Homo-oligomer: A and B are copies of this chain.
Amino acid sequence: MNAWIVAVGSELLTPFRVDTNSLAITERLNTIGCEIRFKAVVGDDVDALADVLKRGIGAVDLIICTGGLGPTEDDITRDALARVLDVPMDLDEAIAEELKRRFERRGMVMQAINRRQAMVPRGAVVLENSRGTAPGLWIEREGTGIALLPGPPREMKPMLEALVVDRLAPKTSGAGLFRRVLKITGQPESEVDARAQPIYGRWLTAPVPIATTILAVMGQIELHLSASAKNKADADEALDAAVSELAQHLGPMVYSSDGRGLEVVIGDLLRAKHFSIAVAESCSGGLLSSRLTDVPGSSDYFDRGAVCYSNAAKIDWLGVPEALIAAHGAVSEPVARAMADGMRTRAGSDVAIGITGIAGPGGGTPEKPVGTVSIAVLTPNGDKIRTFQFLGGRDMVKFQSAQAAMNMLRLLLLDA
């Protein structure tokens, strides 16, 4: 099965909004073996939408439209469909009644304009909207199924799910694209790809072919494995073997193959070992604390964090000796270590991290340019201290500092 996705709405032709519904739709359709061939965005323009629909009907198995189902004159999706199919629009009394009840439940009177939402191109089936007023529509013509779904994601998603389960999946063989993601940090994309390519290159011609996409995002590499299989069981078997082979070959640089983020992986390691953690940050400005505490239940192991921007804070709060700062500079491995040491003593925690560096854009020197960051990680399994030279702007330096600190901690905890 193959599909087109058409997003309707003039706001999607401005610089302010991007169509993200199509990503969720693609992901769900891929799981039933339906491939996306084309995506389009049209404004609130009956002619433009009718033109796209006309080209797709008879040429593609499925067209999913999102948006333009509201009650106003701008909401033109129903009209465009009726025009292309050359059918009249009928008022669906059941929808009109339900709309009226919804308004009454909120103590409001339904305005006449809302009856537009009850108009149905003749022959179309109504898809229930469990979370809003705009019902969806489904119709088949010339071998093409056409679904009109609402634009708001929270209304669109349950309707898509019902459409897939009730109407689309039963027509498919169970074949589909099934996925896994390996997450890696601390290595450049080129290095990861050079090591991974000889492995994943072979999978394209395997009995269950697996395509691999490498995505580099800030401070992190993701390997997306997509298996095209006759059913989920075959896909799971092939993907589990592939993930295991690749993870073994790449070694500990892979921090997750089950969707967990780095902060969740750290949390799970700390919890398993019954270790508490306290962190002292300078250049990362609280980002490490914030990421560690993004994890539900992190209060089980996260004790406290300090953001010591001023030297005074490092000295009087963490007990970093003033002479140490004078001798090595605030950005140095001895100071990173003293920050972590001071933090561990004060918090009585098992693990402590100290980060000091130059986030920029100011503050760099020829010896210690912007992006110079020293990180100390102290654990009951041993310590690690390193100085990094990160590239990029202030945000990037902050993010990479937190990322590198978590990765150093992960490797120390794994070693134990």
The secondary-structure label for the interface of chain A is mixed
Give 1 or 0 for each of A223-245: 1 = CB within 8 Å of chain B CB.
Answer: 01010000000000000000000
C-alpha spacing A22/B313, complex, angstroms: 46
Chain B nearest Cβ from A344, distance in angstroms: 13
Does the CB pair A307–B304 fall under 8 Å?
A: yes
C-alpha spacing A121/B313, complex, angstroms: 64
Binds B, one of A81-89, A159-167, A282-290: A282-290
Residues of A within 8 A of B (CB): 11-20, 22-24, 26-27, 30, 35-43, 45, 48, 213, 215, 224, 226, 281, 284-290, 292-294, 296-299, 302-310, 312-313, 317, 346-347, 359-363, 394-395, 398
Q: CB-CB < 8 A to A363: which residues of B?
A: 299
Q: Which residue of B lies closest to A27 (CB)?
A: B15
Known: A15-B27, A26-B14, A360-B296. A307 touches B289 (CB 8 A): yes
Chain B nearest Cβ from A348, distance in angstroms: 8
Q: Which residue of B lies closest to A283 (CB)?
A: B293
Does the CB pair A290–B297 fall under 8 Å?
A: no
Known: A285-B293, A285-B294, A360-B296. A18 touches B15 (CB 8 A): no
Chain B nearest Cβ from A345, distance in angstroms: 12
C-alpha spacing A23/B17, complex, angstroms: 8
Chain B nearest Cβ from A230, distance in angstroms: 21
Chain B nearest Cβ from A408, distance in angstroms: 19
A17, A224, A290 — which one has the most chain B CB atoms within 10 A of its CB? A290
